[in-house]
């Protein structure tokens, strides 16, 4: 799960080129579209960088907004960066702004990173607050608050999946804008984890220990509440799950488990196994992948268009 800068850069280049014991979840309806009379037209085609969306434990959390050139109210794609829950930031989300051409407003969020003092659930608390912030400011950002999707890779894929399954009853909704829903309407997860109650070996095991306080598969009381599969219910949004069969960081079993549990609950889900793909869905040296990155990019775009419009 250790996403180094080189991985992030390669991942974004490829995308840009392809222009506690949880309570039982209950459904939370999404708000209806609202008029956007306060949107500043000069923002069309531009961006807002380092917008403070919430202040958690005295720490301001920032997001970046990338605007389509016209139209609205727009659906929203929230990008959640990876980095072992303890490094990297929202800057890599700029690689998704090509989706502005599809009439989608793109938002990339920072969240509190794991330190010796900060542990999960700080990360998901922040991401949920970002969703609530956007809905509270729907007019200012010219968005359709009933059409918000989340996408993330690796650690960000875990948070995107958790955002899709954990509703308010999970207890992660804390902080500001609590009159707004943090639910999303579609999820794309790439190379993410879904079930920390399973044993996970390799370097990622220490990243899990640092961020969550236990090795995966050793403390279910602590780790089940951090697992997206814990909260799956039939009202969850559609999922697109992508994972490389040669992923040496996050076991492909994590993707298989997520898809199996979603399907069992009746949640629409599509699992795409990238044959020959590593943790970044890239081919091993001298090899190719199936599907290719161009095909993966098309799948993501079509999934978002089908579920946000």
| C-beta neighbour count of 288 within 10 angstroms | 10
3-state secondary structure 170-225: HCCCCCCCCCCCCCCCEEEEECCCCCCCCCCCCHHHHHHHHHHCCCCCCCHHHHHH
pLDDT in tens, 63-117: 999 999 999 999 999 999 999 999 999 999 999 999 999 999 999 999 999 999 9
CATH number (domain holding residue 223)? 3.40.50.1820
Residue 88 lies in a domain: yes
In order, the DSSP letters of 258-303 are HHHHHHHTT--EEEEEEBTB-TTSPBPTT---BS-HHHHHHHHHHH
pLDDT in tens, 9-24: 444 433 433 333 333 3
Q: Give pLDDT, residue 202.
A: 84
The widest CA-to-CA distance across the chain, in whole angstroms, is 54
Residue 34 lies in a domain: no
Q: Are 167 and 183 in contact (CB under 8 A)?
A: yes
Residue 13 lies in a domain: no
- Which domain does 115 fall in, by range? 40-308
Mean per-residue pLDDT, 220-229:
94
On average, the pLDDT of the chain sits at 90
Residue 10 lies in a domain: no
Q: Give pLDDT, residue 286.
A: 95
Residue 212 lies in a domain: yes
pTM: 0.90
Query: Interior CA angle at 165 toward 206 and 5, to 5°?
Result: 40
Residue 33 lies in a domain: no
């Amino acid at each position: 799960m250790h996403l180094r800068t080189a991985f992030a850069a390669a991942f974004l280049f490829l995308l840009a080129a392809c222009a506690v014991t949880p309570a039982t979840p209950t459904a939370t309806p999404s708000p209806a579209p609202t008029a956007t009379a306060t949107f500043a037209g000069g923002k069309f085609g531009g961006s807002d960088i380092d917008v403070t969306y919430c202040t958690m434990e005295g720490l301001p959390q920032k997001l970046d907004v990338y605007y389509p050139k016209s139209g609205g109210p727009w659906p929203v794609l929230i990008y959640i960066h990876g980095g072992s829950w303890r490094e990297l930031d929202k800057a890599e989300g700029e690689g998704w702004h090509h989706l502005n051409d599809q009439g989608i407003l793109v938002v990339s969020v920072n969240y509190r990173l794991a330190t010796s003092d900060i542990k999960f659930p700080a990360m998901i608390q922040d991401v949920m607050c970002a969703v609530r912030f956007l809905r509270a400011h729907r007019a200012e950002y010219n968005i359709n608050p009933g059409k918000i999707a989340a996408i993330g890779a690796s650690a960000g894929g875990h948070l995107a999946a958790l955002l899709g399954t954990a509703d308010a009853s999970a207890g992660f909704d804390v902080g500001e804008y609590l009159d707004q829903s943090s639910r999303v309407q579609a999820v794309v997860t790439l190379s993410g984890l879904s079930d920390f109650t399973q044993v996970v070996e390799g370097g990622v095991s220490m990243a899990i220990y640092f961020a969550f306080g236990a090795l995966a598969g050793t403390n279910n009381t602590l780790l089940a509440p951090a697992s997206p599969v814990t909260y799956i219910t039939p009202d969850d949004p559609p999922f697109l799950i992508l994972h490389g069969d040669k992923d040496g960081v996050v076991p492909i079993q994590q993707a298989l488990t997520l898809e199996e549990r979603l399907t069992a609950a009746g949640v629409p889900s599509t699992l795409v196994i990238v044959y020959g793909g590593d943790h970044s869905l890239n081919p091993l040296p001298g090899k190719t992948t199936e599907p290719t990155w161009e095909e993966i990019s098309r799948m993501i775009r079509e999934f978002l268009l089908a579920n946000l419009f």
